[in-house]
Amino acid sequence: MSEKIAERYEDSLLYRIRHSCAHIMAQAVLEFYPGTKYTIGPAIENGFYYDFDLPQPITQEDLEKIEKRMRQIIAGNHNFIRKVVTAEEARQIFKDQPYKLELIDGLEQGAFDEDGNPLTEKPEISIYQHDTFIDLCRGPHVENTRQINPAAVKLMSIAGAYWRGDEKNKMLTRIYGTAWHTPEELQAYLKMLEEAKARDHRKLGKELEIFIFEDEVGPGLPLWLPRGGVIIEELEKLAKEMEEQAGYLRVRTPHLTKEDLFLRSGHLPYYAESMYPPMEIEGVRYYVKPMNCPMHHKIYASKPRSYRDLPIRLAEYGTCYRYEKSGELFGLMRVRSMQMNDAHIYCTEEQFEQEFLGVIELYKKYFEIFGIQKYVMRLSLHGKAGLGKKYVDNERLWLKTEEMVRRALHNGGIPFVEAEDEAAFYGPKVDVQIWSAIGREFTLATNQVDFAVPARFDLKYMSKDGVEETPLCIHRAPLSTHERMVGFLLEHYAGNFPVWLSPEQTRVIPITDKQNEYAEQIVRHLRAEGIRASADLSAQRMNAKIREAQLMKVPYMLIVGENEAQAGTVSLRVRDGSRQDNIRLGDFIARAKDRIAHRSPEL
């Protein structure tokens, strides 16, 4: 391969254009709103932002005038001039800017950069000036504003953002913008955003009648419509098949448990805030479960276990409830009621690697079925500072387990990235990040090691040597929750589900009402063959029926007129627009059954 290593974004001209736009925007904002305190304004993916502490709220309309002023500044062909200063000089320059002074303190101590990230060595303090605006900034920037095309810059939105990303701090006003090399690139980007809107799972979910939210039911509590129900049934069928083959045992547990169980598991002190509040009956407090593990632990403990029994893999599509904060809810992706593709694998330390990689193999099989090509395994580790607070206080075990996972991934040839301070409270985890077709990134699958909770439940097995040992536990959810999975799949397929997942696989369309009976007969045949089918017997014309089926993204339409009824055939119209006339019903059935049986992406 003679491919050159791609230029780092941070080194690119586009990055400098965006970073410089952030400064230019800050200048404009300061001109319009004297007394504004400015904080930080970096380039980000697709654009830039700047966070301000404004003396007054601003609105969407204000963005237009700020944008206009930015264009004027850009047209002024100003140089960006870098200068290295001492901390004292910097304090003098920014004496009226408290946020900047705080940043200077951080830089001087060498502890933090302007984003609040810890630094290893003491940085130089530099400032950048263009026109009348001076900012404390590491750079880099364009040399001159003429390198920015004013027609390729656009301000996008206003949002709140906490100073230094900490919710205890003041909320600032953030303005987002986007900038590109050329106006054409900007237009292409805006068009991409438009298209993304069209395949947003919330929009598709409504149009395709998959799910709804109802005010009277409550926020974050989706109602699955019949078509959504079908998709869920199919996903469960898939999971059960795969898990059965992989040696999982299915269990079932209640939605409620006594408080004691979550005290024992250690979840309550860590997660009480994101659990629904307890209900009390007969003097005992009960919680709706936010996860299934404690109950699975109880099932493990229901009888004595020998090393010969291990690994034990307990699986359940468990229904859980989590009190996500109101602002965190997001369509199906973040909800308050969810059904998890959950399982807990109890194993010995020796078995760990094989079991762990077994789970990852399972992921990969799923990815293949769904045609997921881009994913990143992310190993989340503990953070030293969080020991005893966010994390179980046993550094030795953390390091040991993290090394076990790392080794397992290496030995399995699984590429991964590491993330400090993002583990679960009971152990390291491997999350799988994927990207939906509209570029929305999220965590789908998760695979967590638990070295802490089994001991709390006093889980044991009798080892070969006749001594009691505590098993390790792997928590895993390759298909995430039904909610997140269906949300992802909607965007991934843009609603064009493969045949096996399509809520309605076939719609039979009689051309006139004289063929209604023939159509119904076909539906009976198809159903007997295990193909989901319905007939459109409405009084509309054929064209309208086709249009409707097409909009509902039904993969197969069987159009039947007088000719077909006479000959006992159908005219097949496929969702992609292709058609085959006069085919025997049996041939169609064979085709559909083949696609369904193989969970094929082909139509």
Distance CA 178, CA 49 (A): 8
Q: Which of 215, 280, 282, 350 binds RNA (CB under 7 A)?
A: 215
Cross-strand partners of 162:
171
**217 in contact with RNA (CB under 7 A):** no
For residue 76, the minimal CB distance to RNA (Å) is 30
Q: Which of 512, 517, 584, 587 binds RNA (CB under 7 A)?
A: 512
| DSSP line for 366-388 | HHHHHT---EEEEEE---GGGBT
For residue 574, the minimal CB distance to RNA (Å) is 9
Distance CA 153, CA 175 (A): 13
For residue 591, the minimal CB distance to RNA (Å) is 16
Please identify, using beta-carbon distances, which residue of 60 and 120 lies nearer to RNA: 60
Q: Which of 174, 227, 297, 313 binds RNA (CB under 7 A)?
A: 174
| DSSP line for 102-137 | HHHHHHHHTSB-TTS-B-SSPPPEEEEEETTEEEE-
Dihedral over alpha carbons 591, 594, 596, 602 (to 10 degrees): -70
Ranges within 458-477 binding RNA (CB under 7 A): 475
**513 in contact with RNA (CB under 7 A):** yes
Ranges within 475-504 binding RNA (CB under 7 A): 475
Please identify, using beta-carbon distances, which residue of 78 and 267 lies nearer to RNA: 267
Distance CA 319, CA 338 (A): 6
- Helix, strand, coil shares, percent, the chain, to 5: 40, 25, 35
Please identify, using beta-carbon distances, which residue of 327 and 466 lies nearer to RNA: 327
Q: What is the largest CA-CA distance in the chain?
A: 94
For residue 122, the minimal CB distance to RNA (Å) is 25
Q: Are 155 and 28 in contact (CB under 8 A)?
A: no
* 3-class secondary structure, 182: coil
| DSSP line for 203-216 | HHHHHTT-EE--TT
Ranges within 142-171 binding RNA (CB under 7 A): 157-162, 165-167, 171
**324 in contact with RNA (CB under 7 A):** yes
For residue 59, the minimal CB distance to RNA (Å) is 6
Ranges within 336-395 binding RNA (CB under 7 A): none
For residue 96, the minimal CB distance to RNA (Å) is 23
Binding mask 193-212 for RNA (x = CB under 7 A): ---------x---x------
Q: Are 557 and 563 in contact (CB under 8 A)?
A: no
Please identify, using beta-carbon distances, which residue of 115 and 233 lies nearer to RNA: 115
Read off the tokens for 10: 């941070």
**579 in contact with RNA (CB under 7 A):** yes
Q: Which of 100, 130, 267, 476 binds RNA (CB under 7 A)?
A: 267
For residue 130, the minimal CB distance to RNA (Å) is 26
For residue 268, the minimal CB distance to RNA (Å) is 9
Please identify, using beta-carbon distances, which residue of 93 and 570 lies nearer to RNA: 570
Please identify, using beta-carbon distances, which residue of 24 and 546 lies nearer to RNA: 546
Please identify, using beta-carbon distances, which residue of 293 and 589 lies nearer to RNA: 293
Let me know the angle formed at the C-alpha of 353 by 348 and 357, rounded to the nearest 5 degrees: 130
Strands 375-380, 441-450: pairing kind: unpaired
Please identify, using beta-carbon distances, which residue of 84 and 223 lies nearer to RNA: 223
Q: Are 163 and 39 in contact (CB under 8 A)?
A: yes
For residue 62, the minimal CB distance to RNA (Å) is 10
Phi, psi (rounded to 5 degrees) for 209: 55, 55
Q: Which of 97, 173, 319, 339 binds RNA (CB under 7 A)?
A: 173
Q: What are the residues whose beta carbons fall under 8 Å from the beta carbon of 568, sequence distance 6 or more? A: 584, 585
For residue 380, the minimal CB distance to RNA (Å) is 8
Helices within 425-471 (DSSP H only): 453-456
Ranges within 401-430 binding RNA (CB under 7 A): 424-425, 429
For residue 563, the minimal CB distance to RNA (Å) is 4
Per CB under 7 A, the segment of 83-91, 99-107, 458-466, 507-515 that binds RNA is 507-515
Per CB under 7 A, the segment of 27-35, 97-105, 130-138, 217-225 that binds RNA is 217-225
Read off the tokens for 190: 């805006």
Q: Are 574 and 556 in contact (CB under 8 A)?
A: yes
Q: What are the residues whose beta carbons fall under 8 Å from the beta carbon of 186, sequence distance 6 or more? A: 151, 152, 153, 154, 178, 179, 180
Q: Which of 32, 112, 189, 271 binds RNA (CB under 7 A)?
A: 271
Ranges within 26-85 binding RNA (CB under 7 A): 57, 59-60
Ranges within 539-578 binding RNA (CB under 7 A): 539-544, 546-547, 550-551, 557, 559, 561-564, 571, 573, 577
Please identify, using beta-carbon distances, which residue of 2 and 59 lies nearer to RNA: 59
Phi, psi (rounded to 5 degrees) for 457: -95, 5
Number of residues that bind RNA (CB under 7 A): 72
For residue 127, the minimal CB distance to RNA (Å) is 25
Let me know the angle formed at the C-alpha of 137 by 133 and 142, rounded to the nearest 5 degrees: 70
For residue 571, the minimal CB distance to RNA (Å) is 3
Dihedral over alpha carbons 492, 496, 502, 507 (to 10 degrees): 170
Q: Are 287 and 276 in contact (CB under 8 A)?
A: yes
Distance CA 74, CA 88 (A): 31
Q: Which of 325, 384, 464, 584 binds RNA (CB under 7 A)?
A: 325
Q: Which of 47, 150, 228, 290 binds RNA (CB under 7 A)?
A: 290
Ranges within 104-133 binding RNA (CB under 7 A): none
Please identify, using beta-carbon distances, which residue of 142 and 474 lies nearer to RNA: 474
For residue 121, the minimal CB distance to RNA (Å) is 25
